[in-house]
Chains A and B, each alone.
Chain A
Amino acid sequence: MADVLWGLATSHVPSIGAAMDRNKTEDPNWKDLFDGYAPAREWLAEHEPDVAIVVYNDHANGLDLDIVPTFGIGTADSYPVADEGYGPRQVPDVIGDPELSLHLLESLVDEGFDLTVFQELEVDHGLTVPLSVWTPDPGDAWPCPVVPILVNVIQYPQPTAARCFALGQALGRAIRSYRDDVTVGILGTGGMSHQLAGSRAGFINPEFDHMWLEKIETDPEALARLSREELIREAGSEGIELIMWLIMRGAMHEQVTKVHSHYFLPASNTAAGIALFDNRTA
């Protein structure tokens, strides 16, 4: 049976990628963040999946605002790295797995999750920074093919936390109905608390973030009950993107084993979190 091997929740702040691309990981402003990644990276290097699913949002690079899909899935052979306004990041293009994409799509539509299909998609920092958090030195290629799942977290109304968790649960069932023995890493990206605009710009809420880091492991249903308004109030207008962690968590078993977690601030204007979970039953 195919199954999720691990789940990695991580912020996707562009400056994390920029710090790596510019060799600033030993800089005093960044060192603690990257030191905090090290145990997760070591474990991940020893647990390479056959394919990864990255749940992320685009930031005005692959999608315009003329079409705003609530949920989407890439079905392409490959996904070029986008020029976000200063030239593309110098990282490998992302290789897809269209067979798995189409299996997931059919299974999810059968369960009532009508995802928008992307046959062409340029991927931005929302997808490539989490890959860099996982694999800092990919060389010519990322460790495995990737299926992108997109979530609208930019334009209100974003999907509810409950809907994201339910999508994750359906995604888990879809993965487990895939052909034999394929192992899947799933990445839930974004967060943690932050707000970029308005007079509350710079808002960060460590208490909320620590609560989220704990409950994403032990009680994701409680997080799935948070309303959009509660999320924007407690995590900031951009921190609501934490709902993407619930898709990752929903695809995993009820009981998971935490491998590592770390919390850091600020990464640019954001509180940055990482949480890695082993999905294998003991």
Chain B
Amino acid sequence: MTAAPPLIPTEGTSMSTHETGGRLNVPGTPIFDGQTSRRGLRLNKMLMSFRSAENRERFAADEAGYCTEFGLAPEQTQAVLDRDWTAMIDLGGSIFYVYKLAMMDGRSMQYLGGVFTGMTEEEFQAELRAGGRRDG
């Protein structure tokens, strides 16, 4: 996985990144910890709002405006508009929340897995059917 992009300068946030900072270091494994959750709070709250059909429609009508309404940082808004799934995770998105946007786009968890691992959805699916991926 590529290094995390520059952090959003959030008040009181330390400089931990998913894979290099914090108390745990499991290679290739983002740890959704308290600092990550602090960084991602606005983004995750917006993704949570997609539980309602009305909000899904409002987002579809004006994605950037909807992001602004929820107070996303510019990098987070850009990641959402670009459907940069890796950046959304790096910028504090929880996979369960990010997945709500993917579902709206008709994307599967296997598609996201392919994005995170540099594979097509079909290749990723094939690895799962072959018994899953191992470390590295």
Contact = CB atoms under 8 A, between A and B. Distances in A.
* Chain A interface SS verdict (over half): loop
Interface in B81-122: 89, 94-97, 99-100, 103-104, 109-110, 112-113, 116-118
Nearest to A204: B132
Interface residues of A, number: 43
Interface in B36-50: 37, 40-41, 44-45, 47-48, 50
Most chain A beta carbons < 10 A, residue from B34, B45, B116, B124: B116
A238 B116 CA distance: 15
A232 interface: yes
Contact of A60 (B41, B96, B132): B96
Interface residues of B, number: 51
Contacts of A68: 37
A85 B41 contact: no
Contacts of B103: 85-86
A237 interface: yes
Contacts of B52: 83
B6 interface: no
Contact of B24 (A85, A196, A205, A229): A229
Among all A-B residue pairs, the 3 with the closest Cβ atoms: A204-B132, A200-B28, A199-B1
Interface of B: 1, 18-19, 22, 24, 26-34, 37, 40-41, 44-45, 47-48, 50-53, 56, 89, 94-97, 99-100, 103-104, 109-110, 112-113, 116-118, 124, 127-129, 131-135
